[in-house]
Amino acid sequence: MARRINLAGLLAAFLTIFLPSSALAQGFSVAPAEVRIDDLPPGEATAFNLTIRNKDEVAHNFTFSVFQPPEEQRRAGREEFPDASWISFSPPEIEVPANSEANVKVTVAIPREQKWTNQDWETWLGVASESSDLLAVKLYVRLLVSTDATMPARFNAKLFAGIVIGIVLISYGTYCYFRRRTKPQRS
Protein backbone atom coordinates (compact mmCIF):
# COMPACT_ATOMS: atom_id res chain seq x y z
CA MET A 1 0.00 0.00 0.00
CA ALA A 2 2.82 2.38 1.00
CA ARG A 3 4.66 1.53 -2.26
CA ARG A 4 1.53 2.38 -4.33
CA ILE A 5 1.24 5.80 -2.63
CA ASN A 6 4.92 6.54 -3.30
CA LEU A 7 4.47 5.70 -7.01
CA ALA A 8 1.46 7.97 -7.27
CA GLY A 9 3.40 10.78 -5.62
CA LEU A 10 6.31 10.28 -7.99
CA LEU A 11 4.06 10.44 -11.05
CA ALA A 12 2.39 13.61 -9.83
CA ALA A 13 5.78 15.19 -9.28
CA PHE A 14 6.63 14.68 -12.91
CA LEU A 15 3.57 16.39 -14.30
CA THR A 16 3.74 19.75 -15.95
CA ILE A 17 2.02 21.89 -18.57
CA PHE A 18 3.53 22.25 -22.00
CA LEU A 19 3.15 24.76 -24.80
CA PRO A 20 -0.10 26.62 -24.18
CA SER A 21 -0.59 29.42 -26.67
CA SER A 22 -2.97 31.11 -29.03
CA ALA A 23 -3.71 29.67 -32.46
CA LEU A 24 -3.25 32.21 -35.22
CA ALA A 25 -1.92 31.89 -38.73
CA GLN A 26 1.08 34.03 -39.64
CA GLY A 27 1.28 36.03 -42.82
CA PHE A 28 4.00 38.36 -43.97
CA SER A 29 6.25 38.69 -46.96
CA VAL A 30 9.62 40.22 -47.78
CA ALA A 31 10.79 41.66 -51.07
CA PRO A 32 13.11 41.32 -52.83
CA ALA A 33 13.91 37.67 -52.17
CA GLU A 34 17.47 38.04 -53.41
CA VAL A 35 19.87 41.00 -53.60
CA ARG A 36 23.10 40.99 -55.57
CA ILE A 37 25.75 43.67 -55.01
CA ASP A 38 28.60 43.76 -57.55
CA ASP A 39 31.89 45.69 -57.59
CA LEU A 40 31.68 46.98 -54.03
CA PRO A 41 35.12 48.44 -53.28
CA PRO A 42 36.58 47.67 -49.84
CA GLY A 43 36.36 50.82 -47.76
CA GLU A 44 33.00 51.80 -49.18
CA ALA A 45 29.38 51.16 -48.22
CA THR A 46 26.18 50.73 -50.13
CA ALA A 47 22.55 50.44 -49.09
CA PHE A 48 19.24 49.07 -50.30
CA ASN A 49 15.70 48.68 -48.96
CA LEU A 50 13.77 45.58 -47.95
CA THR A 51 9.99 45.83 -48.03
CA ILE A 52 8.08 43.96 -45.31
CA ARG A 53 4.39 43.43 -45.89
CA ASN A 54 2.25 42.48 -42.90
CA LYS A 55 -0.74 40.54 -44.21
CA ASP A 56 -2.24 39.92 -40.77
CA GLU A 57 -5.20 41.69 -39.21
CA VAL A 58 -3.03 42.85 -36.30
CA ALA A 59 0.20 44.85 -36.12
CA HIS A 60 3.46 42.90 -35.77
CA ASN A 61 6.93 43.81 -34.60
CA PHE A 62 9.61 42.54 -36.98
CA THR A 63 13.22 41.88 -36.08
CA PHE A 64 16.23 41.42 -38.34
CA SER A 65 19.26 39.20 -38.21
CA VAL A 66 22.16 37.95 -40.30
CA PHE A 67 22.55 34.21 -40.78
CA GLN A 68 25.63 32.52 -42.22
CA PRO A 69 24.34 29.58 -44.28
CA PRO A 70 26.41 26.39 -44.53
CA GLU A 71 28.31 25.79 -47.75
CA GLU A 72 25.75 23.35 -49.19
CA GLN A 73 23.03 26.00 -48.98
CA ARG A 74 25.05 28.79 -50.59
CA ARG A 75 25.13 29.57 -54.31
CA ALA A 76 27.96 27.89 -56.23
CA GLY A 77 31.28 29.71 -55.87
CA ARG A 78 30.13 31.80 -52.93
CA GLU A 79 32.17 31.96 -49.72
CA GLU A 80 30.88 32.74 -46.24
CA PHE A 81 30.44 36.45 -45.55
CA PRO A 82 33.37 37.30 -43.22
CA ASP A 83 31.66 39.43 -40.58
CA ALA A 84 27.97 39.93 -39.85
CA SER A 85 28.74 43.26 -38.15
CA TRP A 86 29.44 44.76 -41.59
CA ILE A 87 25.69 44.65 -42.20
CA SER A 88 23.33 46.96 -40.37
CA PHE A 89 19.56 47.48 -40.39
CA SER A 90 17.85 50.83 -39.99
CA PRO A 91 15.70 50.72 -37.98
CA PRO A 92 16.95 47.60 -36.12
CA GLU A 93 13.33 46.53 -35.60
CA ILE A 94 10.08 47.85 -36.93
CA GLU A 95 6.38 47.66 -36.14
CA VAL A 96 4.22 47.20 -39.21
CA PRO A 97 0.50 47.91 -38.83
CA ALA A 98 -2.11 45.40 -39.99
CA ASN A 99 -2.33 44.99 -43.77
CA SER A 100 0.49 47.47 -44.33
CA GLU A 101 4.05 47.50 -45.50
CA ALA A 102 7.24 49.19 -44.37
CA ASN A 103 10.80 49.53 -45.58
CA VAL A 104 13.98 48.77 -43.72
CA LYS A 105 17.30 50.12 -44.97
CA VAL A 106 20.13 47.60 -45.14
CA THR A 107 23.68 48.96 -45.29
CA VAL A 108 26.66 46.84 -46.28
CA ALA A 109 30.07 48.33 -45.45
CA ILE A 110 33.31 46.51 -46.26
CA PRO A 111 36.48 47.51 -44.36
CA ARG A 112 39.30 49.03 -46.39
CA GLU A 113 41.73 46.12 -46.56
CA GLN A 114 43.49 44.64 -49.57
CA LYS A 115 42.48 41.08 -48.59
CA TRP A 116 38.80 41.90 -49.16
CA THR A 117 39.25 42.71 -52.86
CA ASN A 118 37.86 40.41 -55.55
CA GLN A 119 35.68 38.31 -53.19
CA ASP A 120 32.33 36.57 -53.77
CA TRP A 121 30.35 36.15 -50.58
CA GLU A 122 26.86 35.08 -49.55
CA THR A 123 24.91 35.67 -46.39
CA TRP A 124 21.20 35.60 -45.50
CA LEU A 125 19.19 38.43 -43.99
CA GLY A 126 16.54 37.08 -41.62
CA VAL A 127 13.20 38.79 -41.05
CA ALA A 128 11.00 37.41 -38.27
CA SER A 129 7.84 38.48 -36.55
CA GLU A 130 8.22 38.60 -32.76
CA SER A 131 6.07 35.87 -31.32
CA SER A 132 5.81 33.53 -28.36
CA ASP A 133 3.91 30.90 -30.35
CA LEU A 134 5.22 27.36 -30.70
CA LEU A 135 5.57 27.67 -34.46
CA ALA A 136 7.18 30.77 -35.92
CA VAL A 137 8.14 31.80 -39.43
CA LYS A 138 11.38 33.45 -40.53
CA LEU A 139 12.05 34.61 -44.07
CA TYR A 140 15.56 34.89 -45.43
CA VAL A 141 16.74 37.21 -48.20
CA ARG A 142 19.81 35.94 -50.03
CA LEU A 143 22.48 38.65 -50.11
CA LEU A 144 25.24 38.06 -52.65
CA VAL A 145 28.15 40.47 -52.35
CA SER A 146 31.06 40.71 -54.82
CA THR A 147 33.86 43.13 -54.06
CA ASP A 148 35.85 45.17 -56.56
CA ALA A 149 39.13 43.72 -57.81
CA THR A 150 41.02 46.88 -56.87
CA MET A 151 41.15 49.20 -53.90
CA PRO A 152 40.14 52.76 -54.76
CA ALA A 153 42.71 55.47 -54.06
CA ARG A 154 41.69 57.71 -51.21
CA PHE A 155 42.39 61.45 -50.95
CA ASN A 156 44.74 62.03 -48.06
CA ALA A 157 44.38 65.63 -46.89
CA LYS A 158 47.26 65.42 -44.39
CA LEU A 159 49.65 64.04 -47.00
CA PHE A 160 48.54 66.68 -49.45
CA ALA A 161 49.12 69.50 -46.93
CA GLY A 162 52.51 68.00 -46.02
CA ILE A 163 53.61 67.95 -49.64
CA VAL A 164 52.58 71.59 -50.19
CA ILE A 165 54.30 72.80 -47.01
CA GLY A 166 57.40 70.76 -47.90
CA ILE A 167 57.59 72.27 -51.39
CA VAL A 168 57.20 75.80 -50.02
CA LEU A 169 59.88 75.28 -47.34
CA ILE A 170 62.35 73.62 -49.74
CA SER A 171 61.79 76.30 -52.36
CA TYR A 172 62.17 79.10 -49.83
CA GLY A 173 65.32 77.50 -48.38
CA THR A 174 66.81 77.10 -51.84
CA TYR A 175 65.95 80.71 -52.68
CA CYS A 176 67.59 81.99 -49.48
CA TYR A 177 70.67 79.82 -50.03
CA PHE A 178 71.31 81.05 -53.57
CA ARG A 179 70.49 84.63 -52.66
CA ARG A 180 73.09 84.56 -49.88
CA ARG A 181 75.69 83.03 -52.22
CA THR A 182 75.09 85.55 -54.98
CA LYS A 183 74.95 88.57 -52.63
CA PRO A 184 78.06 90.78 -53.14
CA GLN A 185 80.45 90.84 -50.14
CA ARG A 186 81.03 94.20 -48.52
CA SER A 187 84.60 95.01 -47.59
Partner 1 sequence: MKVAITSIILAIILALVFCLPALAQESSTITITMTGLDEISITLDKVAWPLGTVASNTEYETSPPIEWCTLTVQGNCNVNTLIIGKDAEWVSDPGAYKWTLSDDGSNGEHIYGLWFRISGDTETNGRGYVPITKTQSEFWPYSAGSSSSLAPGDKKKFGLRLLTPTYFVSGRQMQTQITISAVHA
Q: Is 14 in the site for partner 1 (CB under 8 A)?
A: yes
Please tell me the distance from the alpha carbon of residue 148 to that of residue 53, in angstroms, as a whole number.
33
Q: Is 110 in the site for partner 1 (CB under 8 A)?
A: no
Q: Between residue 50 and residue 89, which ones bind partner 1 under the rule CB under 8 A?
A: 53, 55, 67, 69, 72-73
DSSP codes of every residue in 43-110 = T-EEEEEEEEEE-SSS-EEEEEEEE---GGGSPTTPEEPS-GGGEEEESSEEEE-TTEEEEEEEEEE-
**Cβ of residue 20: shortest distance to partner 1, in angstroms?**
5
**Cβ of residue 137: shortest distance to partner 1, in angstroms?**
6
Q: Looking at beta carbons only, is 75 or 79 nearer to partner 1?
A: 75
Q: Which of 68, 44, 91, 52 is nearest to 142 (CA)?
A: 68
Exactly one of 90, 95, 167, 177 binds partner 1 (CB under 8 A); that residue is 167
Residues that bind partner 1 (rule: CB under 8 A) add up to a total of 72
**Cβ of residue 96: shortest distance to partner 1, in angstroms?**
14
